[in-house]
């Protein structure tokens, strides 16, 4: 494998003023799923798949419930969709509260998803630009690339995750650090690729 000339990818974020109402409405549906995950003590990530203006599947993380590390919200939904829809899913759009991880980003590419909107970036495992660009790298020749646009209710998605980890830490028998019990409300700025749909992207400025 070639080791030179590689630069880390960057996720693509759309500034709030360029986000469409309809996309935010669908992201709210995904957030509701994430809320449900939080209530069930799962990592709060939720999603909804939309085709022709209708939800064809929605889900939340179920990794703890089934003790199966692959049961991310996206894959739980795809399981249902693959039983009733033919591939590729070019006319299907995914709304998910957190950037798909490398595993899910790859699965989404393999089923030929049309487009992905997400809330918060996934700095540890993100497969749509934050860590790897599985969604649109030209190195994958076997399946179509897809656009993944972030920043939709980003703050809400991040705060859900923080609430989850705060509860986890509070339940730990001996918290290492008392400050982990405080819910942080500051949202760090993002670095973004230059993105469509408009040229008014504000670079690394935070959209919140």
Nearer to Zn ion, 92 or 94 (CB): 94
Q: How far is the CB of 5 from Zn ion (least distance, A)?
A: 28
CB of 188: closest distance to Zn ion in angstroms? 22
Nearest approach, Cβ of residue 108 and Zn ion (Å): 9
**Would you state the structure tokens that stand for residue 163, as one six-digit string?**
């609430």
Q: Which is nearer to Zn ion, 101 or 131 (CB)?
A: 101
Nearest to 121 by CA among 144, 150, 93, 96: 150
**What is the closest distance, in whole angstroms, from the C-beta atom of residue 125 to Zn ion in the complex?**
7
**Site for Zn ion, rule CB under 5 A:** 72, 101, 104
Nearest to 146 by CA among 155, 154, 138: 138
**CA–CA dist 113, 82 (Å, integer):** 12
Q: Which is nearer to Zn ion, 104 or 195 (CB)?
A: 104
Catalytic positions are: 74
Instruction: Output 104 or 158, the one with its CB closest to Zn ion.
Output: 104
Q: Which two tokens stand for residue 62?
A: 């179920």
């Amino acid at each position: 494998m070639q080791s030179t000339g590689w630069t880390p990818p960057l996720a693509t974020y759309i500034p709030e003023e360029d986000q469409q109402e309809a996309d935010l409405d669908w992201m709210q549906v995904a957030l509701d799923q994430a809320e449900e995950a939080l209530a069930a003590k799962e990592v709060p990530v939720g999603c909804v798949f939309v085709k022709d203006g209708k939800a064809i599947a929605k889900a939340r993380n179920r990794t703890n419930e089934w003790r199966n590390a692959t049961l991310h919200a996206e894959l739980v939904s795809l399981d249902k969709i693959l039983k009733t829809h033919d591939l590729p899913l070019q006319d299907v759009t995914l709304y998910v509260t957190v950037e798909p991880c490398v595993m899910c980003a790859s699965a989404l590419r393999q089923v030929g998803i049309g487009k992905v909107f997400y809330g918060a970036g996934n700095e540890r495992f993100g497969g749509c630009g934050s860590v790897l660009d599985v969604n649109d790298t030209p190195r994958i020749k076997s399946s179509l690339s897809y656009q993944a646009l972030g920043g939709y209710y980003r703050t809400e998605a991040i705060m859900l995750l923080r609430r989850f980890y705060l509860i986890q830490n509070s339940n730990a028998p001996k918290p290492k650090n008392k400050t982990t019990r405080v819910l942080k409300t500051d949202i760090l700025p993002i670095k973004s690729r230059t993105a469509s749909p408009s040229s008014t992207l504000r670079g690394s400025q935070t959209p919140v």
